[in-house]
C-alpha cells in the first residue's frame, strides 16, 4: 500500500461499484465465452482467449472508454454490422446472474457507515441498486444513485459533483475509491477530491499518464482503506 499525502477533514467517501464492491470476475469470463462463441459463428473462425486478453490489455493501456467495445471492434473490424450486433448483445447480456459481492465489502462499509457520508459514483444501470439492496449493501449508502438516474457517466466530472451535491459535501473533503485510473482517479483529482485506487480487476495494470494524475493512495484490497490515516483516526 502506498501512502499518499496527509488528508484532513475528510467526511465523505464515494465508491465505484464494479470491482470494488461487486466482484465481476465470473461475469467477465461468461461474457468472453459468449463473445468467442459468437465470433466463431459470425466469421467461421475461432478466436482464442489469448487474443481477447491482448485486446483487453490494449484497451486498458490506451484508456478506451469501454474495454468491451474496444475488444468487439478489433475482433470484427471492419464489419460495422457485426460490431453493432455484438454490442447490442453485450448491452442485453445478463451480467447480474454471475455477479457476487466482494467478500469484505459489507464489513468495510458497515465500519465506515455513520462516521463518513457514503455515496456511489458508478456507471451502472438502475438494476445495480436492486442487486446491492437484495445483498444487504445499499443500506450503507447515504446517496445511492447511479449513472442511469443521474444523467452523467464517468469520467464526466459532473457526475461526481452531482453526487457530492446530493450529500451536501465538498470535493476537498471527499474521497473517491475506484479501480480505474481513467474513470475514477483522474476526474476525482480534477475537482480536488482525494483519490484512492484499488488494484483489482482488468484495469489494475492501467498506467498513470502524468504525475499530477497519481492517486493519493493505492491499496491492494478494500479493507486496506480502514488503516489509512484519515479513516483509522476517525474509527478509534
- Using the Cα atoms of residue 83, residue 128, residue 198 and residue 189 in order, give the sign of their dihedral: positive
CA angle 198–30–102, rounded 5-degree value: 35
Residue-wise pLDDT tens digits, 176-189: 999 999 999 999 99
37: three-class secondary structure by DSSP: helix
229, pLDDT greater than 80: yes
58: confidence class by pLDDT, cuts 50, 70, 90: very high
User: Which DSSP helix (H) or strand (E) runs through 14?
Assistant: strand 12-15
Q: Look up residue 206 and give its three cell numbers.
A: 492501467
144: three-class secondary structure by DSSP: coil
Please compute the mean of the pLDDT values over residues 69-78 and round it to a whole number: 97
pLDDT for the residue numbered 6: 46
CA neighbor of 109 nearest in space, from 223, 219, 17:
223
pLDDT for the residue numbered 138: 98
pLDDT for the residue numbered 210: 95
Domains in the chain: boundaries: 12-24+100-235, 25-97
Residue-wise pLDDT tens digits, 144-181: 999 999 999 999 999 999 999 999 999 999 999 999 99
**What CATH number belongs to 12-24+100-235?**
3.40.50.1000
pLDDT for the residue numbered 236: 83
pLDDT for the residue numbered 7: 57
56, pLDDT greater than 70: yes
Amino acid at each position: 500500500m502506498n501512502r499518499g499525502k496527509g488528508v484532513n477533514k475528510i467526511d465523505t467517501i464515494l465508491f465505484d461499484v464494479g470491482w470494488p464492491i461487486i466482484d465481476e470476475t465470473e461475469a467477465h469470463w461468461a461474457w468472453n465465452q459468449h463473445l468467442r462463441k459468437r465470433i466463431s459463428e459470425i466469421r467461421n473462425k475461432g478466436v482464442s482467449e489469448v487474443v481477447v486478453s491482448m485486446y483487453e490489455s490494449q484497451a486498458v493501456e490506451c484508456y478506451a472508454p469501454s474495454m468491451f467495445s474496444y475488444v468487439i471492434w478489433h475482433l470484427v473490424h471492419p464489419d460495422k454490422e457485426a460490431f453493432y450486433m455484438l454490442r447490442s448483445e453485450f448491452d442485453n447480456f445478463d451480467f447480474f446472474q454471475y455477479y457476487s459481492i466482494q467478500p469484505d465489502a459489507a464489513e468495510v462499509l458497515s465500519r465506515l457507515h455513520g462516521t463518513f457520508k457514503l455515496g456511489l459514483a458508478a456507471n451502472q444501470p438502475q438494476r445495480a441498486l436492486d442487486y446491492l439492496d437484495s445483498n444487504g449493501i445499499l443500506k450503507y449508502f447515504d446517496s445511492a444513485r447511479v449513472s442511469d438516474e443521474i444523467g452523467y457517466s464517468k469520467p464526466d466530472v459532473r457526475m461526481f459533483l452531482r453526487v457530492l451535491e446530493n450529500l451536501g459535501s465538498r470535493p476537498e473533503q471527499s474521497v473517491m475509491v475506484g479501480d480505474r485510473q481513467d474513470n475514477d482517479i483522474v476526474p476525482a483529482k480534477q475537482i480536488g477530491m482525494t483519490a484512492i485506487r484499488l488494484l483489482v480487476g482488468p484495469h489494475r495494470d492501467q498506467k498513470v499518464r502524468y504525475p499530477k494524475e497519481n492517486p493519493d493512495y493505492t491499496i491492494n484490497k478494500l479493507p486496506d482503506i480502514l488503516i489509512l490515516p484519515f479513516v483509522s483516526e476517525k474509527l478509534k
